[in-house]
Structure 1
């Protein structure tokens, strides 16, 4: 029997897709995307917001493009981005960007279309190794490859349409900047579902391994994140990427699947 949510999504003009290949980790869940919110449209809308964020950082003199740490982040990102088409071929045509912002914030993200921001607080305060930085960025890139933000927008639109029979939600009919802000909300601001987090964990693990980064670093990363959460102030990253008691266990179970990819990458 088709669920009420599935029916509303179909009514809203959603299509069943799978944005990425299953990979070695076996992510095969079908996704429902609202046909009026195409990949290119969402990517372009988010690009507007991304440039606004960079402009604000530049005006405050906190956009770091030249330091050794900025070059370190760029090098790690480049290796991961090179592997993204293995899971999603069309990502080779994305206009990827990587930027480091000087801030005490413990956060990093990759928005639709491959727009990455890393905050220095995450690296410095948690004393992240290259492998751990790759684990964070791999996870974030996986969210973008799977289009979890667009998927969340599609679900919300389907529910709204089923309730009201009209498309006021998600900024339809509003100006492009308002719609860009909506993309940010659904892609980066709202907490991710457990299903989406699991997919990003698994695919991020594979990206890091293919890029030559030790997948075991995902375990040490989340241990550091959990320790930081218990220290009185929850990292911003944890508010949108909630931890669970099963997360580390799931990662540990998946590491043997990607370890051969890591070992092969070290030989090449």
Structure 2
């Protein structure tokens, strides 16, 4: 490799690293599961929450217009009751979360999906309930996982990292383009891809692991069996096929996820036992 190329690549990599490493904060307490990674935040929580609230309203309006919103009162009430038990448990990780404007709805769709937007806006899809025949404990595992993403502000973190990688990619691409006399967009594309693999994909898997761990603790504190999360992912493993290799996936493999869940479900089991004993 030419010395100039090596220097240019190193400089570009340094720019990505410096951008991703600034403005570190912690959004949650560690909890019993011990999640305490520092996070990169380059975007304000207010900006993300406003965007999320608007997106949620639009999604619910669309579902209502298509007669897909809360069509089954029994399903909606079941999901609402699980949410009502989980939400107070968020105080174990951040004191402000119980005061969020929480909202939960059920969308009629064959998708195996559920999500919780920043600020506590949730949706559960009927495909998840019906195709997997979830127990309440398993449903709590799903919802606890999604709530954990909101508590950790993973959406804000990903937006921040995308902004940081994009800025570094632009600078790095221009430097490489100028050095070799090529289109700077080509250099930007290369560095952007490297930045995505180096910072976005691995951390997305890390975020999933954090949500798994916090999710089982939320479920346990609410009196739901944390080991049900393992049964849930075993069901998912039997249902979902064609999974990409773990190192290029934004989610852990089923095997590694279940192994990790087993460790942390055991750790929080005393919380579950205590919640079950409580009057």
Q: TM-score range by the shorter chain?
A: 0.7 to 0.9
* Partner Cα separation in structure 2 for residue 50 and residue 89 of structure 1: 23
Contact map agreement 1:65 1:71 (CA 8 A) in 2 = no
Q: What corresponds to 1:23 in structure 2?
A: 31
Tell me, yes or no, if structure 1 residue 92 matches structure 2 residue 98.
yes
Runs of 4+ in 1 over 3 A off after TM superposition: 239-244
Q: What corresponds to 2:211 in structure 1?
A: 200
Deviation at 1:93, TM superposition (A): 2.3
Structure with higher helix content: 2
Aligned equivalent of 1:267, options 265, 274, 277: 277
Q: What corresponds to 1:78 in structure 2?
A: 84
Deviations 1:49-87 (A, max 9, x none): 111010011011110166111100000011111111211
Q: What corresponds to 1:250 in structure 2?
A: 260
Cα gap change, 1:85/1:40 in structure 2, threshold over 3 Å: closer, same or farther? Answer: farther
Contact map agreement 2:222 2:275 (CA 8 A) in 1 = yes
Contact map agreement 1:192 1:242 (CA 8 A) in 2 = no
* Partner Cα separation in structure 1 for residue 203 and residue 68 of structure 2: 28
Structure 2 unaligned blocks of 5 or more? 1-12, 172-200
* Partner Cα separation in structure 2 for residue 102 and residue 240 of structure 1: 26
Tell me, yes or no, if structure 1 residue 138 matches structure 2 residue 117.
no
TM-score when normalising by structure 1? 0.81
* Partner Cα separation in structure 2 for residue 121 and residue 191 of structure 1: 29
Deviation at 1:192, TM superposition (A): 7.2
Compute the RMSD of aligned alpha carbons: 2.2
Deviation at 1:241, TM superposition (A): 4.2
Q: What corresponds to 1:180 in structure 2?
A: none
* Partner Cα separation in structure 1 for residue 57 and residue 227 of structure 2: 34
Tell me, yes or no, if structure 1 residue 115 matches structure 2 residue 121.
yes
SS for the counterpart of 2:115 is strand
Q: How does 1:1-268 map to 2 (within 5 A)?
A: 4=14, 5-9=16-20, 14-34=22-42, 37-64=43-70, 67-164=73-170, 193-230=204-241, 241-268=251-278
Structure 1 unaligned blocks of 5 or more? 166-189
Contact map agreement 1:9 1:159 (CA 8 A) in 2 = yes
TM-score when normalising by structure 2? 0.78
Q: Determine which structure has more spread, i.e. the larger CA radius of gyration.
A: 2
